[in-house]
Amino acid sequence: MVKMSKNVKPQSLKEALQVHNKRAKENLGKRHPHAQRFFQIKGVDLGKIRHHSAKILTAGALAGTLLLGAPGNPTSLKIPPLPAKWVNALTERGWALPEDPQGFLVSHLTEIIPKNPCPLPPEEEKRIGLFIERLTGIRARTSLEGERLNVCYGLIGAEQHLPRFPGDSIWQHDEFQNSGITPGLGAWGYFARSRSELNPLDVQREKYYVAVQTLYLPDWEKRLPYLRDWYKYRKVLVLNPKTGQAVVASIADAGPASWTGKQFGGSPEVMYQLGLGGGPRKGAVLLLFVDDPENKVQLGPVDYAKMDLPRVPVQEI
């Protein structure tokens, strides 16, 4: 049981409950491994057991939300109604993909989101996240475990490589050496204590890293110890809505500064995979957290062809 004091703060209670929840899952795995395996086979995250039951009750509501806009709300973006067959497929296990899911995604996103980056209403963020999930196979969320960035639709600009270990140099990076390497460290310091301790995951985290404006979160200073650990190497999905190019990246730095007019920064590899590696090396992107408690989603470019689902012509959807 979580002990409470009379002067407990709501945020402190929330964090205490999150720690308690994590320990409870660990204890269940130790005492009842057979039960844990059962839930894993069924794809149920014990930490979100209420969420799983809620999904069953609200599946119809989700479909209706996607099908219908928000009439009467002038601040809400107007999402064009999708064909009923496509909306119904959101609640089925055996639904099909369009032959060109990337093109299908782009055609609808260009109608759903504004041309220029701006804050999106929460209900629109949820719809977009679900839409992206169904076409990429990656659970993308603007809010995860109660945490969220100030914006999910903003400008991303090119960043340099980050030093991975003491003594690292640009010549030890295998790609985009012309981009240079930062004189300072990323938000979490070195990825490894030495070159000999640098592992493949460290390499991938630096290769596909993004910078997000954690310093501008309203409660960053008040909750610094907790938020610092929560955001460290947190996986995100970054998507270019104009082309559908997407990459799963790791949060490894803070920034850019607000005066730059940009909300995110991307490594040379991230910018290349988004189709923004040339010219001004910046552009509008959607950035969402990856809900991946079992750590199955790999860092790197998103391959739409990997989704093992039947394909049908767009006109049949």
Q: In this structure, are 92 and 116 located in the same domain?
A: yes
Q: In this structure, are 209 and 255 located in the same domain?
A: yes
Report the b/e string of 195-221 with b at 16+ CB within 10 A: eeebeeebbbbbbbbbbbbbeebeeee
Q: In this structure, are 147 and 16 located in the same domain?
A: no
Strand 209-212 to 264-266 pairing: antiparallel
pLDDT of residue 47: 56
pLDDT of residue 227: 97
Residue range 294-315: mean pLDDT, rounded: 85
Q: In this structure, are 9 and 92 located in the same domain?
A: no
Number of helical (H) and strand (E) elements in the chain, helices listed first:
9, 12
Q: In this structure, are 18 and 120 located in the same domain?
A: no
Q: In this structure, are 31 and 148 located in the same domain?
A: no
Enclosing domain of residue 229: 44-316
Residue range 122-129: mean pLDDT, rounded: 87
Q: How many independent structural domains does the chain possess?
A: 2
How confident is residue 80, by pLDDT bands cut at 50, 70 and 90? Answer: very low
* Listed range (90-94, 143-147, 170-174, 299-303) with the worst mean pLDDT: 90-94
pLDDT tops 50 at residue 316? yes
Q: In this structure, are 10 and 155 located in the same domain?
A: no
Placement of tokens 């990323």 in the chain: 186
Q: In this structure, are 205 and 303 located in the same domain?
A: yes
User: 185 or 104: whose pLDDT is higher?
Assistant: 185
Return mean pLDDT, the chain: 81
Return the closest-CA partner of residue 238 out of 201, 202, 204, 264: 264
CA atoms within 13 A on the CB side of 79: 23
Contact yes or no for 127/142 (Cβ under 8 A): no
The per-residue pLDDT for range 222-275, each reduced to its tens digit, is: 999 999 999 999 999 999 999 999 999 999 999 999 999 999 999 999 999 999
| 3-class state of residue 238 by DSSP | strand
How confident is residue 74, by pLDDT bands cut at 50, 70 and 90? Answer: very low
Return all residues near 203 (Cβ < 8 A) that are at least 6 apart: 164
Which two three-digit tokens encode residue 294?
């079992």
Domain of 202, CATH number, reads 2.40.40.10
CA atoms within 13 A on the CB side of 234: 28
Q: In this structure, are 190 and 309 located in the same domain?
A: yes
Return the closest-CA partner of residue 110 out of 131, 85, 87, 95: 131
pLDDT of residue 73: 38
Q: In this structure, are 7 and 125 located in the same domain?
A: no
- The type of residue at 177 is Q
Q: In this structure, are 80 and 221 located in the same domain?
A: yes
Q: In this structure, are 38 and 49 located in the same domain?
A: no
Rounded distance between C-alpha atoms, residue 124 and residue 287, angstroms: 14
Residue range 32-60: mean pLDDT, rounded: 51
